[in-house]
Structure 1
């Protein structure tokens, strides 16, 4: 369990940060599994001979960082860490992205067929609704826990060859790269927050109305022709999104 040791007041490291480091080490070792309760503020204060204010600062930071969560009148518990999604700043396969987080990626193919694209989506392609598209519907998992579903439409005339591939084992972008006309070279992504619908309840193990991070992707080939139209629905409790911003130093703050 928690390693109790005297905090060093002679070093320029704040006491709350020293306590936070001890708690993080215990969580990372597996001493406190997901959803288990850590000692109370009073107990930690007595164990480490520090003020409750100091304890509260350490706990608050760990809650803000996603390591812990609080339940009123019950205590503080170890949270399931959210998966850092940085696909909005790089083109990368789902498997590579999830593997970098230390989780085991997997994919379930829910549907693969030829169909017509919904009218509102055709507007992005400048096409009419009678044209044929390849429809690919997948559920993506991390450590066997569903975290996102992805619906993808691809123009049939350029992408019919994808129907012969196994998308439980293969990456869509790698498959599309087999054809110069279908290879994705640039994407536009739009992120917004929505509530979970009935389909999310069934496929993502969430309750209706819970937060879903909706990502719409339009992928273009090197001729700037739209090839991919995907709608991904990420569980809000299992994902967080990260973006790096470059600051123009010529701009006055």
Structure 2
């Protein structure tokens, strides 16, 4: 069964607004868990800033920071005029072991 085109966050865990963990990070972590669990997959749209702000009852700036964190860590990409979509994080390869030729 195909997924709906405009998918939003389904079950929302309440944020700890009195704790030490920033709200944007709590939202970012919740979205990342949904991506890693397969609840949302590569190519699926994420909720917009406005939707996240309404769902989590935070400011739009807080929602923007959460989406920005996902984008900088490689879990999402924004397309102008279309929205933010889940991506597969790029693998980083450590090439430091290729620094030189072996000694003979």
When you count helix as a share of all residues, which structure comes out higher? 2
Gaps of 5+ in 1: 92-186, 189-218, 224-253
| Distance in 2 separating the partners of 1:3 and 1:13 | 20
Provide the residue aligned with 2:96 in structure 1. Answer: 89
Gaps of 5+ in 2: 1-8
Alignment coverage as a number of residue pairs:
96
Give the root-mean-square deviation of aligned CA atoms. Answer: 1.5
Length-normalised TM-score, structure 2: 0.84
| Distance in 2 separating the partners of 1:4 and 1:77 | 19
Give the 4+ runs in structure 1 shifted more than 4 A. none
Structure with higher Rg: it is 1
1:17 equivalent among 20, 25, 48? 25
When you count strand as a share of all residues, which structure comes out higher? 1
- Using the TM superposition, give the Cα deviation of residue 2 of structure 1 relative to its aligned residue in structure 2, in angstroms: 3.8
2:81 equivalent among 70, 73, 76? 73
1:55 equivalent among 53, 63, 68? 63
**How do 1:203-214 residues align onto structure 2 when only pairs under 5 Å count?**
none
Which structure has the higher relative contact order (CA within 8 Å, separation 6+)? 2
The answer to whether the Cα contact below 8 Å between 1:17 and 1:58 also exists between their aligned partners in 2 is yes
The answer to whether the Cα contact below 8 Å between 1:2 and 1:31 also exists between their aligned partners in 2 is no
1:28 equivalenced with 2:36 (yes/no): yes
1:5 equivalenced with 2:13 (yes/no): yes
